[in-house]
């Protein structure tokens, strides 16, 4: 007995009683069971709870960020990215920068020389067609020009190669070049690499050794070393060959000639036999230069002399471009600034406008058809309403493709509706109605597909409007119409707003249905995006169009959030 009464004070650990008594004894901060101030303890508990909640959300958040948000961000990035031009044509981009486009003259020999070098490397890596198709989006015809140039460009400087080799047969050997330019260390390394490559054969994929030049060579012979490095890289990565066994590109010979012409003292770098070899070659090429790069390109195709091509290159030389967005807005970038494209090429403005007004038409027909049905459902007894609700929910749950195919079956020329009309002699067999592959088809089918998305939000709003309001209005003398228009309708506006935005957002991004029933003039902007992804392969433009559409949808979504709130999105009633 005594033990029991005395126990709270005898217990050594803290108990709730202790805390209370502590709190009563001194008017200090209220303490939790373990003696810490209650505030701190509460804060700790709440923090722990927060962390736990975050921990529960984190896996999904990370999943969505990786599988969804990053891809979208990447798409946005791709719509401005233009790395391929400066990456593939680094020398040209640099050289063409100083060219004055307004002069109306083709650029200098230096620019053509840079282009020849870039193209030889790109051709070796088989990427010259890619940059060609990239630039083709901006100026039609460049793709074939690049492809053609790629075939012939490795002959640039051929006369010099011939002259070098005539002076001494040693120039035919790749090994001559290697021993002429590179360090001994590199020579042994590349020899080993070559041996391994020969052993493995075709599937050899070890990266080639970077060329290391002898002391002072890179400064004295900049073009030669630059070209030779690229040559070694290309044959190493593409063919698994080393420069030891391959005859270099003619451009390498030409570069050596040009370097020695520009800097005659560089010959001091060579010694003994090698010096004799080089001097011999220089004697053989005496008076041959300077090489006419422009004439060489003219021979490939006269179009290379057109300033337009170089203008395009100059405008689209940066790593980022607004070009795709401008194309998406029917504009183009020229050296004189942004200009509208010619009238007959303005397709995206029309397409965006059409997407907008067709989505509006669909939204409007959804309101027109959805409002009466939602009203009926909201005002019928629950049991009947639930049965009728199934008629709304069944289309909602039915596959989009099923509904689209149903409309194709109904609307097509030999379809059910036309057959019925012909059978009833309302239209002749010869002039069946064109209900599909035009805007009518798209609007009818999409109204049907999106109607449940209008009815459901309308229904949930109307459900909350007490029917007694209408009765009260009528008993106060309002006519049926006044009672509806002045009392009921204003209260149902939030439902119309929610449903309209939902339908509009969904309609504006539709792809499948317009593709199947839309024909030529019933397609949306999304069909164009899909076309650029899968057919024209102009991914940058597809990304730009997608980004514009996304911005539009996000703005509408923000509006939806303001009106309805994201949390109030309801599915299936």
Residue numbers 454-493 binding another protein by CB under 8 A: 480
Interface with another protein, residue 130, by CB under 8 A: no
Indicate which single residue of 20, 45, 401, 472 sits in contact with another protein (rule: CB under 8 A).
401
Residue 348 CA to residue 354 CA, distance in Å, equals 9
278/373 with CB nearer another protein:
373
Tell me: does residue 320 bind another protein (CB under 8 A).
Answer: no
Alpha-carbon gap, residue 211 to 221, rounded angstroms: 14
Are 363 and 443 within 8 A, CB to CB? no
Shortest Å distance, C-beta 433 to another protein: 14
Write out the DSSP string of 345-381: G--HHHHHHHHHHHHHHHHHHHHHHHHHHHHHHHHS-
Q: Which is nearer to another protein, 47 or 486 (CB)?
A: 47
* Residues within window 369-398 making contact with another protein, judged by CB under 8 A: 369, 372-373, 376, 382-383, 386, 388, 390-395, 397-398
66-125 residues in contact with another protein (CB under 8 A) are: 67-75, 78
The nearer residue to another protein, 56 or 283, going by C-beta atoms, is: 56
| Binding segment toward another protein, per CB under 8 A, in 47-55, 122-130, 197-205, 344-352 | 47-55
The distance of closest approach from Cβ of residue 453 to another protein in the complex, given in angstroms and rounded to an integer, is: 12
> How many whole angstroms separate alpha carbon 572 and alpha carbon 420?
34
Structure tokens at 345: 């090429």
Nearer residue to another protein within complex by CB, 353 or 409? 409
Q: Could you tell me which residues are beta bridge partners of residue 331?
A: 340
Q: What is the dihedral of CA 553, 559, 564, 566, to 10 degrees?
A: 50
287 vs 466, beta carbon nearer another protein = 466
Q: Which of residues 409-438 bind another protein (CB under 8 A)?
A: 409-410, 412, 414-416, 419, 423-426
Which residue of 124, 236, 509, 518 would you call a contact of another protein, by CB under 8 A?
509
CA distance 573 to 567: 14
The C-alpha atoms of residue 237 and residue 66 are separated, in whole angstroms, by 33
Which residue has tokens 């008993």? 475
Shortest distance, position 510 Cβ to another protein, whole Å: 8
- Of 287 and 423, which CB lies nearer to another protein in the complex structure? 423
Report helix angle 307-315 to 142-152, nearest 10.
Answer: 100
State the Cα–Cα distance between residues 131 and 127, nearest whole angstrom.
Answer: 7
Rounded least distance, CB 423 to another protein, Å: 6
400 counts as binding another protein under rule CB under 8 A: yes
Return the structure tokens found at 181: 């330019």
Q: Is 157 helix (H, G, I), strand (E, B) or coil?
A: coil
Report the SS3 class of residue 168.
Answer: coil
User: What CA–CA distance (Å, rounded) separates 459 from 456?
Assistant: 5
| Inter-helix orientation angle 272-284/174-181, to 10° | 120
- Our finding on whether 542 is near another protein (CB under 8 A) is yes
- The dihedral sign for the CA sequence 203, 204, 210, 211: negative
Min CB(29)–another protein separation in Å: 23
The size of the interface with another protein (CB under 8 A), counted in residues, is 97
User: Using CB under 8 A, which of the segments 64-72, 161-169, 212-220, 239-247 binds another protein?
Assistant: 64-72
Q: Build a one-symbol-per-residue string for 246-285: x at contacts with another protein by CB under 8 A, - elsewhere.
A: ----------------------------------------
Return the structure tokens found at 288. 């041959």
CB nearer to another protein: give 232 or 374: 374
In the complex, minimum distance from the CB of residue 487 to another protein, in angstroms, rounded to a whole number: 17
| CB closer to another protein, 23 vs 421 | 421
Whole-angstrom CA distances from 458 to 369, 445, 451, 498 are 11, 21, 11, 8
* Binding characters for another protein, 208-247, by CB under 8 A (x = yes): ----------------------------------------
Q: Residues 550 to 569: which contact another protein by CB under 8 A? A: 550, 553-554, 557, 561, 566-567, 569
Which CB atom, from 170 or from 508, has the smaller least distance to another protein?
508
Given 451, 473, 487, 523, the residue binding another protein (CB under 8 A): 451
For residues 369 and 451, what is the distance between their CA atoms, to the nearest angstrom? 8
- If the CB atoms of residues 161 and 483 are measured against another protein, the closer one turns out to be 483
Q: CA 397 to CA 216: how far, in whole Å?
A: 75
- Please select the residue that binds another protein; options are 160, 233, 348, 407, rule is CB under 8 A: 407
505 touches another protein (CB under 8 A): yes
> Between 270 and 560, whose beta carbon lies closer to another protein?
560
Which residue, 140 or 566, is less far from another protein as judged by CB?
Answer: 566
Burial of 508 (0-12, 13-18, 19+ CB in 10 A): buried
Binding segment toward another protein, per CB under 8 A, in 31-39, 152-160, 337-345, 446-454: 446-454
Task: With contacts defined by CB under 8 A, name the span among 30-38, 299-307, 323-331, 511-519 that binds another protein.
Answer: 511-519
Q: Can you tell me the distance from the alpha carbon of 555 to that of 561, in angstroms, rounded to the nearest whole number?
A: 10
CA–CA gap between residue 339 and residue 334 (Å, rounded): 7
| Residue 514, CB-side half-sphere exposure with 13 Å CA sphere | 26
- CA 286, CA 171: separation in Å to the nearest integer? 17
CB of 139 to another protein, least distance (A): 25
Report the residue from 275, 346, 403, 463 that binds another protein according to the rule CB under 8 A: 403
- Nearer of residues 23 and 556 to another protein, judged by Cβ: 556
Based on the shown chain and the rule CB under 8 A, indicate whether residue 535 belongs to the binding site for another protein. no
Is residue 131 within 8 Å of residue 146, measured between CB atoms?
A: yes
Under rule CB under 8 A, residue 52 binds another protein: yes
Distance (Å, rounded) from C-alpha 114 to C-alpha 24?
89
CB 270 within 8 A of CB 179: no
Which residues are 330's β-sheet partners? none
């Amino acid at each position: 007995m005594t033990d029991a009464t005395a126990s709270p004070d005898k217990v050594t650990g803290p108990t709730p009683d202790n805390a209370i008594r502590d709190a009563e004894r001194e008017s200090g901060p209220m303490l939790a069971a373990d003696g810490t101030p209650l505030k701190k303890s509460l804060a700790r508990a709440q923090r722990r709870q927060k962390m736990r909640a975050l921990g529960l959300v984190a896996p999904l958040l990370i999943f969505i960020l990786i599988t969804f948000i990053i891809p979208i961000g990447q798409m946005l990035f791709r719509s401005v990215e233009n790395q391929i031009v400066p990456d593939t044509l680094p020398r040209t981009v640099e050289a063409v920068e100083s060219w004055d486009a307004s002069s109306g003259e083709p650029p200098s020999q230096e620019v053509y020389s840079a282009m020849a070098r870039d193209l030889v490397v790109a051709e070796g890596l088989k990427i010259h067609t890619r940059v060609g198709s990239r630039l083709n989006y901006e100026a039609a015809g460049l793709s074939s020009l690049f492809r053609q140039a790629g075939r012939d460009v490795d002959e640039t400087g051929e006369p010099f190669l011939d002259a070098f080799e005539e002076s001494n047969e040693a120039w035919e050997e790749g090994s001559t070049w290697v021993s002429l330019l590179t360090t001994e260390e590199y020579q042994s390394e590349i020899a080993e690499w070559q041996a391994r490559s020969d052993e493995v054969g075709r599937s050899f994929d070890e990266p080639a050794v970077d060329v290391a030049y002898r002391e002072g060579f890179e400064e004295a012979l900049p073009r030669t070393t630059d070209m030779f490095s690229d040559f070694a890289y290309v044959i190493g990565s593409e063919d698994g060959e080393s420069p030891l066994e391959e005859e270099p590109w003619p451009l390498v010979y030409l570069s050596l000639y040009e370097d020695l012409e520009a800097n005659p003292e560089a010959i001091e770098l060579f010694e003994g036999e090698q010096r004799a070899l080089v001097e011999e070659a220089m004697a053989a090429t005496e008076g041959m230069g300077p090489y006419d790069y422009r004439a060489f390109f003219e021979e490939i195709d006269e179009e290379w002399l057109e300033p337009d091509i170089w203008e395009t290159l100059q405008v689209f030389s940066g790593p980022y471009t607004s070009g795709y967005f401008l194309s998406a807005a029917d504009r183009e970038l020229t050296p004189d600034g942004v200009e509208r494209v010619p009238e007959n090429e303005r397709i995206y403005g029309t397409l965006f406008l059409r997407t907008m007004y067709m989505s509006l038409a669909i939204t409007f027909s959804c309101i027109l058809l959805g409002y009466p049905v939602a009203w009926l459902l909201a005002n019928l007894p629950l049991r009947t309403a639930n049965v009728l609700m199934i008629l709304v929910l069944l289309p909602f749950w039915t596959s989009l493709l099923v509904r689209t195919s149903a409309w194709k079956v109904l609307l097509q020329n030999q379809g059910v509706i036309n057959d019925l009309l012909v059978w009833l002699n309302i239209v002749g067999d010869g002039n069946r109605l064109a209900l599909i592959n035009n805007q009518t088809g798209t609007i009818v089918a999409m109204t049907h597909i999106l109607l449940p998305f209008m009815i459901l939000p309308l229904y949930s709003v109307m459900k909350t409007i007490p029917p007694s309001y209408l009765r009260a209005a009528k008993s106060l003398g309002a006519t049926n119409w006044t009672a509806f228009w002045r009392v009921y309708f204003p209260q149902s506006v939030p439902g119309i707003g929610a449903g309209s935005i939902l339908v509009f957002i969904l309609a504006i991004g539709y792809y499948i249905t317009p593709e199947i029933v839309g024909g030529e003039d019933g397609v949306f902007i999304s069909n164009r995006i899909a076309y650029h992804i899968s057919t024209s392969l102009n991914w940058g433009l597809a990304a730009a169009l997608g980004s514009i559409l996304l911005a539009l949808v996000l703005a509408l979504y923000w509006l939806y959030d303001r009106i309805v709130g994201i949390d109030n999105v309801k599915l299936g009633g």
